[in-house]
A and B are shown apart, each in its own frame.
Chain A
Amino acid sequence: DGGITQSPKYLFRKEGQNVTLSCEQNLNHDAMYWYRQDPGQGLRLIYYSQIVNDFQKGDIAEGYSVSREKKESFPLTVTSAQKNPTAFYLCASSREGGRTGELFFGEGSRLTVL
């Protein structure tokens, strides 16, 4: 079945460590997104990519980095520069930027900084 796979589902990090969240899709979608979700708030865009080897900062990109070396993969690194990294992170993908079909999400990764 086609879909988006995020890993790990739960992750604990000590302050000062970088961590990388994996996102893989087999839907042949061009567009991929990373969102952060905090309690009581809407999803906030961290980074997005419309094509391979190209990505743009979203609204809250500081302290995060991404790469898009393959169409299927869009990993997110949470760096030690991110001041408040504890959150739920969601990866999404869409065909034609979401204009013509569904927006698919992964199951999410919950990051806790100890």
Chain B
Amino acid sequence: KNEVEQSPQNLTAQEGEFITINCSYSVGISALHWLQQHPGGGIVSLFMLSSGKKKHGRLIATINIQEKHSSLHITASHPRDSAVYICAVLNFNKFYFGSGTKLNVKP
């Protein structure tokens, strides 16, 4: 069983739709990161959360420590949001990664 589970694995949306990607984890947590990987392969960090909610532009990330669950929301999605989104949980000195959600936003 994976320590970090993401859903859905694949997601297709029309431009403008509201998108939610979910992450559930089973390990203890020091912090949780949401990452974005573009087709070229490079990864950028979108958010680092240890509690509550963070917002950056059209992106919102929430975490519920008691339920061991985090969500990444994209409002007014755009084709440039098409990428793989990865949830990463930091447990002491080690990161555990979900297998990613591949998002395709169609114009």
Q: Which residues of B, 18-60, contact A by the 8 Å Cβ criterion?
A: 30-31, 33, 35, 40-45, 48, 50
B45 engages A103 (CB within 8 Å):
yes
Interface residues of B, CB < 8 Å — how many? 26
User: Which residue on chain B has the smallest CB distance to residue A89?
Assistant: B41
Task: Given A42-B100, A43-B86, A103-B88, answer yes or no on A98-B95 (Cβ-Cβ < 8 Å).
Answer: yes
A107 engages B42 (CB within 8 Å):
yes
B45 engages A106 (CB within 8 Å):
no
A101 engages B40 (CB within 8 Å):
no
B90 engages A108 (CB within 8 Å):
no
* Complex contacts, A40 vs chain B, CB 8 Å: 99
Instruction: Say whether A33 faces chain B, with CB atoms less than 8 Å apart.
Output: yes
In the complex, A92 Cα to B42 Cα: how many Å? 11
Instruction: Point out residues on B near A: beta carbons under 8 Å.
Output: 2, 4, 30-31, 33, 35, 40-45, 48, 50, 86, 88, 90, 92-100
Instruction: Point out residues on A near B: beta carbons under 8 Å.
Output: 31, 33, 35, 40-45, 48, 50, 88, 90, 92, 97-99, 101-108, 110
Given A43-B97, A98-B48, A105-B45, 20 new contacts (CB under 8 A): A31-B93, A35-B97, A40-B99, A42-B2, A42-B99, A42-B100, A43-B95, A45-B95, A48-B94, A90-B41, A97-B92, A98-B33, A103-B35, A103-B45, A103-B88, A103-B95, A105-B43, A105-B44, A106-B42, A107-B42
